[in-house]
Structure 1
Amino acid sequence: MGGAGVRLRAVLGVRSAGPRGTWPEREPDADALLRGFRTRFGVPPAGVWHAPGRLAVMGEHTAAGGGAGLYVALPWGVTAAVGPAPDPGVHVAAPGGPLRPRERAARAVARTVAEARRTGVLGADAGVRVVLDADLPEHASLGYTAAVGAAVALALADLGGGPPPEGATADERVCLAARPGCAVRVNLRSMRTTVLPFDLAGEGLRLVVVDTGALPRRDLRVVRAAELERAQQVLGPLRSVQDLPGSLRRLPDPVLRRRVEYAVTEVHRLNAAVGLLRAGRSGETGPILSASHLSLRRFGLPTREAELAVETASRAGARGVRMSGWAGTVLALAAEERVEGIGAALTTEFGAMGWVPPRVRAAVPSAGAHRLR
């Protein structure tokens, strides 16, 4: 969708949802969490752990086709004070008070505790207390839930004297395996991870994270997975497709042809990007990111806000730009000196549409989950 099309929608009265929730400005304070835990539960925690958010660089939409994803850890994440409970319960709180069991972070902690019990890391009747804080937004496709799970999983493994956890999901594996100046490739079928050099700081580059706040009306992950599954019933596993034009001719549904075209070609783009990373040429991945975004249109994903962000960042000097994840977040690869100008251009263009300006942060690939106290 071009800029003119985006503006036409605005004239017709279609408005951006704007950022959902907040992007916390304050970094979690480990010592404050220690004190907060003691105040709430009357005893100190066993320790404090941190896990980063994660940014999907490319490939994340190919899971249903057995593809691979390339990710980095972010400098923002979730910090958790964790300790045993005197009962079998799972007690989760934030600095502002206890979390309801249905809240996102509380559900993530409960799933992690259940997995620890299943694998024997935690006794069947052992309870857990958690107080957590974050400087990562919950609804921006930046791995908030995975960061909660990774922080608690590492805490339980440390306290139980077991080996470091691998992670129950691809996102958690990224949070746990990441290293500074590196990307993590995840085989989305086997969940095997590979750490690759991605030293953007050394090349004077940044990943510009643009949170447009434009959430889709419904979660498209299940819909796209079902579409790829229907295609695979005809073609077999997409990872085995060799003759793409011939395979597309076997699909009578034009929607399925578009979905398969994206899923198969994205694997090749990701492999090309991995080759550049292995060769120490991270700065040359920009055109691949932009090509990935163009192909994502065949997958029916980018929102109009994401499209405007991509076009604006490209015009402002980014080396490559694409939508990341499923919630309207955009990433741009840019020289450090271009970051401020990209942010200003985004504010101007979104303001011209009458939309809430996106939230813009610059990042470099950061450390994975670790113990702080």
Structure 2
Amino acid sequence: MSGTGGNDLVDETQAGFEARFEYSPSGIWSAPGRVNLIGEHTDYNEGFVLPFAIDRRTFGALALRDDDVIRVSSAAGDDVVEVRVADVASGLDGEKRAALGWAAYPLGVVWAFGRLGADLAGLPGFDVHFDSDVPIGAGLSSSAAIEGALAVALNEVWRLDFDGAQLVDVCHRAENDFVGAPTGILDQSAALLAEEGAALFIDCRSGAAEPVELGLEASDLAILVIDTKVAHEHASGEYADRRAACERAARELGVRSLRDVTLEQLIAARETLDGVTFRRARHIVTENQRVLDTVAVLREAGATEIGDLMFASHRSMRDDFEISTRELDLAVEIALNYGAIGARMTGGGFGGSVIALTPTWLISQVQVSVDGAFAEHGYTAPEMFVVWPSRGAARER
């Protein structure tokens, strides 16, 4: 099974590079978007997550230069961002970073390589052009796909010899410390480490990751993504507020992170937390358990039995963490009413997408029903497409 990318996008990315820079790239690398099957906002709480890479990818065509200039281009815009390696290595000031726009994501990767031991002063610049079929703002981690594609490309052409876990760290630092989005390692781990046909069970404290077979095709199931077209932005204040609430709860409970709290302990300490902080913590504590339960069920009974856990996760995000929207809630409700065996919002929240685990023969019924419900409520028409568990970042050409 494959998405809309593949060889066509490889060719388009090469053609885009040649049109912008008037010569041919030395190679093309790619990294996938991701769907988080379950485990939302648990990553920066040192908890558990279960994402999988999807068969929609970001491609980067790249060639080294004979000077220290970096030029970054995208099929989504006409402007080419040009900086020097030394300037990126210095970190740039806040105003210059803000002026980079989307290019802060790939340039943050360069900066993070330097922070993690690469001697940027001795390395040449490069030209890179990106193209993608990962929707932007849909909660499918288009940013980690950009970071992952460039990280594996530079790791190869700069001969840095970073391993997979180190590349995850590079991309995570790029997003956290250069771009300023306070995310955990979920997105970057999926983009770099995922295996085809499987989800990736990640312990976000140790960084350990292991594949968990999903067996969707054998069960005649598919994951339908329902992009509500309500765009979200991780660097916005609401996401940071949720992270701050989790850190406040851990501090007041006297633990390193909410990973170290059981539900029984949280309930016993309820009087020490204000109502909002308690609910935020309850989502994290229960979501960690849902991830562990989902992994166990997948291994013992298969994907047909995880629907209740998916909806319990959505309900917790809606009521306790309060990161859902009317559009997301409607998509979950309609999908479940018209054939999905499980559905939940996925990603950081405040917009983005719902995933619906659906028998393949009911996909069209769910799509028609969701379209009708959105039209009836006067919402922007959603975009819907099926995704399949895919491989992580790699060289394509």
What interval of TM-score do these two structures reach, taking the shorter chain for normalisation?
0.7 to 0.9
Match of 2:78 in 1: 97
- The secondary structure found in structure 1 opposite 2:134 is coil
Q: Cα distance 1:117–1:180, how it changes in 2: closer, same or farther (>3 A)? A: same
More displaced stretch, 208-217 vs 254-263: 208-217
Match of 1:46 in 2: 26
Q: Cα distance 1:338–1:121, how it changes in 2: closer, same or farther (>3 A)? A: farther
Match of 1:87 in 2: 67
Pick one of 130, 133, 137 that aligns with 2:131. Answer: 133
2:323 is aligned with 1:301:
yes
- The secondary structure found in structure 2 opposite 1:60 is coil
**Deviation of the 1:266 alpha carbon:** 0.8
| Aligned mates of 1:204, 1:308 — CA distance in 2 | 25
- 1:109 partner amino acid: P
Q: Cα distance 1:122–1:338, how it changes in 2: closer, same or farther (>3 A)? A: farther
Q: TM-score, normalised by structure 2?
A: 0.82
Match of 1:228 in 2: 246
- The secondary structure found in structure 1 opposite 2:248 is helix
Could you report, residue by residue, the CA deviation over 1:321-359 in whole angstroms, capped at 9, with x for unpaired residues? 111112331111111111111110010000001111211
More displaced stretch, 338-347 vs 195-204: 195-204
C-alpha contact (below 8 Å) 2:374/2:381 kept by paired residues? yes
C-alpha contact (below 8 Å) 1:231/1:256 kept by paired residues? yes
| Aligned mates of 1:119, 1:62 — CA distance in 2 | 25
Q: TM-score, normalised by structure 1?
A: 0.87
Match of 2:180 in 1: none
Match of 1:329 in 2: 353
| Aligned mates of 2:110, 2:247 — CA distance in 1 | 31
| Aligned mates of 1:194, 1:315 — CA distance in 2 | 33
C-alpha contact (below 8 Å) 1:99/1:106 kept by paired residues? no
- 2:280 partner amino acid: R
Quote the RMSD (CA, aligned, Å): 2.2
- 1:266 partner amino acid: E
Could you report, residue by residue, the CA deviation over 1:71-107 in whole angstroms, capped at 9, with x for unpaired residues? 0111112011011123222211124533447455411
2:169 is aligned with 1:188:
no
Could you report, residue by residue, the CA deviation over 1:248-285 in whole angstroms, capped at 9, with x for unpaired residues? 42334111121111111111111000112233612211
2:197 is aligned with 1:176:
no
C-alpha contact (below 8 Å) 2:252/2:273 kept by paired residues? no
Q: Structure 2: state its 5+ residue gaps.
A: 83-98, 173-184
**Deviation of the 1:219 alpha carbon:** 4.2
Q: Cα distance 1:50–1:232, how it changes in 2: closer, same or farther (>3 A)? A: same
Match of 1:32 in 2: 12
Match of 1:202 in 2: 218
Pick one of 347, 356, 364 that aligns with 2:380. Answer: 356
Pick one of 334, 349, 353 that aligns with 1:312. Answer: 334
More displaced stretch, 301-310 vs 211-220: 211-220
Q: Cα distance 1:118–1:249, how it changes in 2: closer, same or farther (>3 A)? A: closer
Match of 1:117 in 2: 114
More displaced stretch, 47-56 vs 30-39: 30-39
Q: Cα distance 1:134–1:354, how it changes in 2: closer, same or farther (>3 A)? A: same
C-alpha contact (below 8 Å) 1:157/1:165 kept by paired residues? no
More displaced stretch, 128-137 vs 111-120: 111-120
Q: Structure 1: state its 5+ residue gaps.
A: 1-23
More displaced stretch, 188-197 vs 361-370: 188-197
C-alpha contact (below 8 Å) 1:276/1:282 kept by paired residues? yes
| Aligned mates of 1:307, 1:56 — CA distance in 2 | 17
C-alpha contact (below 8 Å) 1:112/1:153 kept by paired residues? yes
- The secondary structure found in structure 1 opposite 2:259 is helix
Could you report, residue by residue, the CA deviation over 1:27-48 in whole angstroms, capped at 9, with x for unpaired residues? 6532333233234334321200
| Aligned mates of 1:148, 1:263 — CA distance in 2 | 28
C-alpha contact (below 8 Å) 2:139/2:232 kept by paired residues? no
| Aligned mates of 1:25, 1:157 — CA distance in 2 | 27
| Aligned mates of 2:103, 2:39 — CA distance in 1 | 29
